[in-house]
Structure 1
Amino acid sequence: MTLTAPKIAFIGAGSVVFTQGLLADLLAFPELQGAHIALHDIDAERLATAEGAARQIADRLTGGGATRPRVTAHAERRDALADADFVINIVQVGMRAATRTDFDVPARYGLRQTIGDTLGVGGIFRALRTFPVLKSLAEDIAEVCPDAWLLNYTNPMAMNIQYLTEATGLTRVVGLCHSVYWTVRDLADLLGVPHQEVGYRAAGVNHQAWVLRLEHQGSDLYPRLDKLIADDPELRRRVRVDMYRRLGYYPTETSEHSSEYVPWYLHHDSEVERLRLPIGAYLGIVDENIAAYEQTRDALAEGTPLTVEGTMEYAPQIIHSITTGTPRTVYGNVPNRGLIDNLPATGTVEVPCLVDGLGVQPTRVGALPAQCAALNRSYLSMNDLVVRAALEDDPRSIRQAAMTDPATAAALPVERIWDLCDDMVRAHADLLQPGLRATLGH
């Protein structure tokens, strides 16, 4: 595929800080500086802010010369999508109010969450309110830009990709997350090795993949990591270091995230203290994101230059590779379909993907270590029940998903799990598909 000026649609462009970073990455490639950037958001103020930021970034990074991107803003999604070559999805359905509900209602039941966007009760209901938007987005793509690649950043990643795969006819879909890249980069910094010299392979599921190989100049770096951990008691006060010590492979997401996907930590006061787990941390992140958006909005109004740096995200790299035929490897979330032998075929897995002019091509990994696959299967089993709930309009599957979730099951008896799901359904009812709005009691 060779495109001289690809059209790239940003859906949820009102996530202005993330949009800015992606644009900085895109326009760092000279071949993409003539792209058409089409922005869409349902919030008019946020859309206007995104447009203003995009124009300023474009002027700065292209020097205002003849080769510069065309930036358009669209209140109607289909207008942004029309004839697009790439669609970047960064929507967050319900924004801060829905996220606060995801934390406040479970907290009344004594259920602790740190991030709440991938598994658990927070992840379940974030998925269920996102699925209707994904379905309508996919329908629009099928009609107005059927050959486009959908690059999804919206969480819960694995559930969203499975739903898109099973509920729509789209095949050019890949989920993107920076956790593998930043995990390896952080490990390189910890070990004092230039990150660009580190060879690695990871695989698993989003936010719970495993660093299967970590090498520098042909030497295994895991023994050096073991010594660092043995010599530093503060390192041992991290959830993912604790998991690595017990499972033998380093997990690819932060301790805050990792603590929510297993039953061992959040339910125990002693573990929360030992591992310094920040309950409700994501609420602070949401507030920081809103403050950053308001700062950008105000800076544009005052004519103050924006400070924007590249983010090393995968979507711009994918777009560049497909557009120019330049081969590179990224990590993508895709349907399993034989990529990892000991995980369910219907699940979404995170694996290395070759990207070039032919598109995104996932790499077969084979079997994961048994202990890693066991945790991933639990994760994917819960995901499958959430997707079944939406596909089959079955509210019981929501409760069964929560029963299957490791951290929820460790904290609450089954009757309380059903009561909690009823309260969550009531709180989010206007964002759920109609068939899932029923309360079931015990």
Structure 2
Amino acid sequence: MAVKVVIIGGGSSYTPEIIEGLIDRQASFPVREIVLVDIEEGREKLEIVGRLAQRMIEKANAEITLSWTLDRRAALVGADFVSTQIRVGGLKARALDERIPLKHGFIGQETNGAGGLFKAFRTIPVLIDLANEVAEICPDAWLVNFTNPAGIVTEAVLKHSSHKKVIGVCNIPFNMRNSVAEILETPVERVAIEFIGLNHFVFGRHVWVDGVDRTRDVLASLNAGNDYSPANIVGLGWSESFLSSLGMLPNPYHQYYFQTKDVLKKDLEAYEQNGTRAEVVQQVEAQLFEKYKDVDLAVKPEELEKRGGAYYSDAACNLMDSIHNDRGDIQTVNTLNNGTIRDLPEDAVIEVNAVITKSGPRPISIGALPLPIRGLITNLKTFEQLAIQAAVSGSYEDAYLACLMNPLIQDEKRIDPLLKDLFTAHEAYLPQFKKEVYS
């Protein structure tokens, strides 16, 4: 059966990743139509990416019809899969998410802390509207959300939209598994990792190779200085005591929570020297789009790896392929808890290994969270649910409580000035919050 895929945020620099992934899977995942969708502000980038994607398809001799449009509703007609990769406010908004918290003495990061909170505030209403359109126009389609903060956004859509065929994906578990395979000098197909936790706060409890537990070997390698951080996160390394005591694989984002002072110092120094990560990415993007314009370019350029999107297409395309073919394989996704982790609410979205079927993901039971990480994960989930509540209610008090419960903020006397600056900076993208509540 021919498949139609719609990519929301089609003008993203990441789009060549997913185009490559869909081309590579033609034998098993027969995509015959791809529609790239963006908004008016992204028209020029959409045109550039669309033409590159067309050249990629032609070079591969793939039987795929490609189009691009600003008309989202028209694009959704007949869709089987809808993939989302949007950034409300663009990289300029991301720069504010990173710069303003640093000004107040907090970590500035696009998906964690105060920056991640405001990215969620801008994004949640937009994706709820999209999901409602999917429910109306193509109700059988799966909505595959890659938009960060992926766990929070996926839970918000499941709770507050009329569409329930929603799955969140992230390239971090995929990146970790591939990097562990390199560390162990083993084909990735032989490596399995038990992931437990939340998006960007997930742990690898066990690593197996052909069923043999190799967790300690990987931890020893990390202790020796090996790393699996993506391009957008500079790892600081882990202490021997941390790794041996925890006994689980941390993910690159854990540095924000377990090395907070060192990360803040590093980020402030980097900001003084090179600006925020968003400003560095803006330079990378400008170079990428100049390259994308080259009419002789018909492949994904290697420079795209500098954007931190390694394994993005694999994570998204493997999921769609497995749903379409009812594979029953195991992948790490963001999906409803439904009792998988006993310590979290049934309707919470978790990041966990799941069996992927045509009916969606079936999470593999975890039981109780390991004691050392239980409090942190339940605390983070409380923050996430307060963030969703604030994004939907438009209540300043809810936003304040979300900050109060976030481990990277939790300073009641400094929250008000931090919030005021962020609300003022992002006012154009936060219509649900009335200005008088924070002015």
1:204 and 2:200 matched = no
**Match in the other structure for 1:175:** 168
Match for residue 11 of structure 1 among 2, 8, 15: 8
Q: Which amino acid aligns with 2:359?
A: L
Q: Is the 8 A contact 1:333 1:351 kept in 2?
A: yes
**Match in the other structure for 2:293:** 298
**Match in the other structure for 1:332:** 333
2-side partners of 1:214 and 1:276: how far apart? 35
Q: Is the 8 A contact 2:219 2:243 kept in 1?
A: no
Identity score, percent: 25
Q: CA separation of 1:166/1:121 partners in 2, compared to 1, >3 Å: closer, same or farther?
A: same
**Which structure 2 segments of 5+ residues have no match?**
228-234, 303-309
2-side partners of 1:110 and 1:432: how far apart? 24
Q: CA separation of 1:195/1:164 partners in 2, compared to 1, >3 Å: closer, same or farther?
A: same
RMSD of aligned residue pairs (Cα, Å): 2.7
Match for residue 24 of structure 1 among 10, 17, 20: 20
Q: CA separation of 1:237/1:429 partners in 2, compared to 1, >3 Å: closer, same or farther?
A: closer
Paired residue secondary structure (2:111): coil
Match for residue 103 of structure 2 among 105, 108, 124: 108
* Cα deviations by residue, 1:61-108 (Å, 9 ceiling, x for unpaired): 2x26xxx01111111111111121100000111111101111222222
Aligned length: 418
**Per-residue deviation at 1:22?**
0.9
Q: Which amino acid aligns with 2:249?
A: Y
2-side partners of 1:268 and 1:359: how far apart? 41
**Per-residue deviation at 1:389?**
0.9
1-side partners of 2:276 and 2:184: how far apart? 27
Match for residue 79 of structure 2 among 67, 81, 84: 84
**Match in the other structure for 1:266:** 260
Q: Is the 8 A contact 1:395 1:438 kept in 2?
A: no
1-side partners of 2:433 and 2:225: how far apart? 51
Match for residue 424 of structure 2 among 422, 426, 431: 426
| 333-342 vs 312-321, greater mean Cα deviation | 312-321
| 200-209 vs 420-429, greater mean Cα deviation | 200-209
**Match in the other structure for 2:65:** 70
Q: Which amino acid aligns with 2:352?
A: V
Q: Which amino acid aligns with 1:390?
A: A
* Cα deviations by residue, 1:270-323 (Å, 9 ceiling, x for unpaired): x957x99966763255225513542343213xx443345894522212222232
Match for residue 414 of structure 1 among 412, 415, 424: 412
**Per-residue deviation at 1:418?**
1.1
**Superposed counterparts of 1:113-132, under 5 Å:** 113=108, 116-132=109-125
**Match in the other structure for 1:386:** 387
**Which structure 1 segments of 5+ residues have no match?**
none
| 380-389 vs 343-352, greater mean Cα deviation | 343-352
Paired residue secondary structure (1:92): coil
1-side partners of 2:5 and 2:211: how far apart? 39
Paired residue secondary structure (1:102): helix
2-side partners of 1:90 and 1:182: how far apart? 18
Q: Which amino acid aligns with 1:295?
A: E
Q: Is the 8 A contact 1:354 1:360 kept in 2?
A: yes
TM-score, normalised via structure 2 length: 0.87
